[in-house]
Structure 1
Amino acid sequence: MRSSHLFLALTLTTTQAASLAYAQWDIEESHTTASLRGIHNVGGGVAWASGSNGTVLRTEDGGYLWQTCTIPPGADKLDFRGVQAFDENTAIVMSSGPGDQSRLYKTTDGCQTWKLVFTNPDKDGFWDAIKFQTNSWGWILGDPVNHQFILLATFDGGLHWQSVKQPGLAEPEGGGGAFAASNSLLVAQLPLLFGTARGWLYGGGSTCTMGLVQDHPQSCIDLFDFQKARLPIAHDSDSAGIFSLAAFNWTQIAVGGDYKLPDLSVGTAAFSPDLGQHWHPAQTLPHGYRSAVAYDATQKLWITVGPNGTDISTDDGKNWRPLTPSSTDPADADKNWNALSLPFVVGPHGRIGRLRAIDQKTIVTKKP
């Protein structure tokens, strides 16, 4: 994340009892000390992770063994904030940085070799997130250049990219940039695309369905109508805003806060029950700044992570409660996380965890 700001937590106040859940992250051996920001679970035991100093990791057995990949050429000092994988052999990693330090590398042989497929052509640009809807269609979100957010589209698996020019992508009054914290600023739901900014949600919709023979992809891009709305998330400083967005069915969840004040729970989560048309602040907030959020369809709950802990919601983001380590978990099993692609979570110093079934307990406490 750079200092500019913009694009696409539970403090318990109980009187007698608080519903808690024990932390269920099994810590895995990554064989790296890199700060991990990107994680993508492909399924079938295959997942890819990425981070600082050109680090890329891969597992084919559900995380039992993480392979250290070959560093892409010229990338040993790059920060891979995003990874999008397609199978056990094919993946794209995105580095975030000013100008040509924002790059895309692609592998098709299980990360033995890499090809530089795209470099940020704008010296003032800075990429924040990458998201693929299919193996062919993908998007890159970048900080504003000339007061316009950068949105790039590909329709050939990332080999070629084109700029999306829309008046609705103009930065709000006062300017700002995006937070490249967990590669989760973009949500793609055909034919809709949503992106988050410091305190804003950008939503674009198209009236054509991409993929039909009679529809050229460019025609769909031209029909996107981007609009923005202010979300009830903390945004009163350069270090505060929306850091992650996730959607399941009609529900959308946004989380964030102030990363310089990680224990502050004010303005850390909001929810929308109608695909982003109306937003509400969470009634019970995560207990600190949160950098990533995701929905676990198996356990039917939302989960959000950050440096000071993990929280879950079983009512579509209205209320959050913390996960706490059990007697058999490491004392910090719930803490120091950056990004999610369930069941995996990654963090600083090569930290990787895998979610196991959450055992919820009710802890009776006395009045404060």
Structure 2
Amino acid sequence: MAAAACGAALAVLTALPAQAHTPGPAVPHWDLKDTGAPAVRFRGLAAVDRATAWVAGTQGTVLRTADGGASWRNVSPPGAADLQFRDIEAFDARRAVVLAIGEGEASRVYRTEDGGATWTESFRNTDAHAFYDCLAFFDRRHGLAVSDPVDGRFRILSTSDGGRSWKVLPDAGMPAALDGEAGFAASGQCLVASGARDVWLATGGAARARVLHSSDRGLTWTATDAPIPAGDPARGVFALAFRDRVHGLAVGGDYRADQPSPQTAATTGDAGRTWRAAATPPPAYRSGVAWLPHSRTAALAVGPTGTDLTTDAGRTWRTVDPGSYDTVDCAPDLGCWAAGEQGRVARLEN
């Protein structure tokens, strides 16, 4: 579907009533794509455009499509079957950086420049206390990765050459972590960037959920409480999305299926200095969130129990699909993708 047609489809989606059952125009929906990987859970997702997307997940698996999901190529790094990939950032159809999570040497970064035909391991963590969760890039050269606190502070890894090499940044500008505070490697969205220098970090697990913000590519940070329940290792802010340097969304809750998540979303209009709880949040835990391209008010949130839509910049949400997804990403050409358990990958269709 051309970008113009997809734009019309998104317009229909944002205008859709909460309970629409009457016959009418086709309603945009997630169209599942057969990845051929039913045993893999994909928590890493990078939408390049409507034709091209990368997914990364368990069993060291990386897949890439260049035909809108009609076929998928297994481009997993060799020797990575024991790794868990939780985040992937793609610059185009050929260049991507993928993060494996875990304690000590299980946390690694790989980079490809040929569509996954070959990979180079560009970072392997050697600190037994570090556990990397997420990646984010400002542009094709500058990016960061974040580890759970080491010696009482979140650790930030930096690259200035597109992920070919990495260095640990000094932590003098990082506020002290709260007792039990950590990031969630649930969707590759616990660390997100917007513009050339701004980056935000979502946390949970402590008495309070917080969002940390840096405006100098990770050298100095400020921390703000978020109105999403915490107080337990399973609760907090799981994902962030910023449509510019000022307007952002946060989603999360309690990832345990048998636990309620009464307040799962929040918004900011001041770059994260303050956060306001959604008036009508998603009904359950959500692990991923993305703004719809070229929209100031529409976004999607996903989780194991469904997809929710907001058309008022995060103040109210309504469920539009019951399928299970862990992460969501949208490309500038209006290509929106979602991925999750049992090899599930879908593209938004009309």
Q: What amino acid sits opposite 2:320 in the alignment?
A: L
Match of 2:283 in 1: 287
Q: What amino acid sits opposite 1:301 in the alignment?
A: A
Q: Is the 8 A contact 1:262 1:307 kept in 2?
A: no
CA deviation vs aligned residue, 1:69-111 (integer Å, no higher than 9, x gap): 2x32321110010111122222111100110001111222221
Q: Is the 8 A contact 1:168 1:228 kept in 2?
A: no
What SS is found at the alignment partner of 1:62? coil
Q: Is the 8 A contact 1:265 1:285 kept in 2?
A: no
Q: CA deviation at 1:23?
A: 7.1
Q: How many residues align?
A: 315
Match of 2:249 in 1: 253
Q: What amino acid sits opposite 1:205 in the alignment?
A: S
Aligned with residue 262 of structure 2, among 254, 266, 274: 266
Aligned with residue 64 of structure 1, among 63, 70, 78: 70
Match of 1:179 in 2: 184
What SS is found at the alignment partner of 1:355? strand
CA deviation vs aligned residue, 1:140-176 (integer Å, no higher than 9, x gap): 0111111111101100111111112233424433232
Match of 1:237 in 2: 232
Relative CO higher for 1 or 2, CA cutoff 8 Å, sep ≥ 6?
A: 1
Please give the alpha-carbon distance, in whole angstroms, between the structure 1 residues aligned to 2:292 and 2:134: 21
Aligned with residue 301 of structure 1, among 285, 298, 310: 298
Q: Is the counterpart of residue 135 in structure 1 residue 140 in structure 2? A: yes
Match of 2:203 in 1: 197
Match of 1:344 in 2: 337
Aligned CA RMSD, in angstroms, stands at: 1.8
Match of 2:24 in 1: none
Please give the alpha-carbon distance, in whole angstroms, between the structure 2 residues aligned to 1:172 and 1:344: 33
Match of 1:12 in 2: none
Report the TM-score, using the length of structure 1 for normalisation.
Answer: 0.81
Q: CA deviation at 1:40?
A: 0.2
What SS is found at the alignment partner of 1:19? coil
Q: What amino acid sits opposite 1:40 in the alignment?
A: A
Q: What amino acid sits opposite 2:230 in the alignment?
A: H
Which has the larger displacement, 23-32 or 96-105?
Answer: 23-32
What does 1:355-366 align with in structure 2 at a 5 Å threshold? 355-357=348-350
Q: What amino acid sits opposite 2:37 in the alignment?
A: T
Aligned with residue 145 of structure 1, among 142, 146, 150: 150
Q: Is the 8 A contact 1:137 1:157 kept in 2?
A: yes
What SS is found at the alignment partner of 1:43? coil
Please give the alpha-carbon distance, in whole angstroms, between the structure 2 residues aligned to 1:201 and 1:105: 27
Please give the alpha-carbon distance, in whole angstroms, between the structure 1 residues aligned to 2:107 and 2:215: 27
Q: Is the 8 A contact 1:80 1:93 kept in 2?
A: yes
* Percent of aligned positions that are identical: 35
Q: Is the 8 A contact 2:122 2:166 kept in 1?
A: no
Match of 1:94 in 2: 99
Where does the alignment leave 5 or more consecutive residues of structure 1 unmatched?
1-17, 207-219, 325-333, 358-368
Where does the alignment leave 5 or more consecutive residues of structure 2 unmatched?
1-16, 21-26, 331-335
Please give the alpha-carbon distance, in whole angstroms, between the structure 2 residues aligned to 1:228 and 1:116: 32
Q: What amino acid sits opposite 2:74 in the alignment?
A: T
Match of 1:52 in 2: 58
CA spacing shift, 1:53–1:275, aligned 2, 3 Å: same
Please give the alpha-carbon distance, in whole angstroms, between the structure 2 residues aligned to 1:239 and 1:44: 34
Please give the alpha-carbon distance, in whole angstroms, between the structure 1 residues aligned to 2:253 and 2:338: 19
Higher-Rg structure is 1
Q: CA deviation at 1:234?
A: 1.1
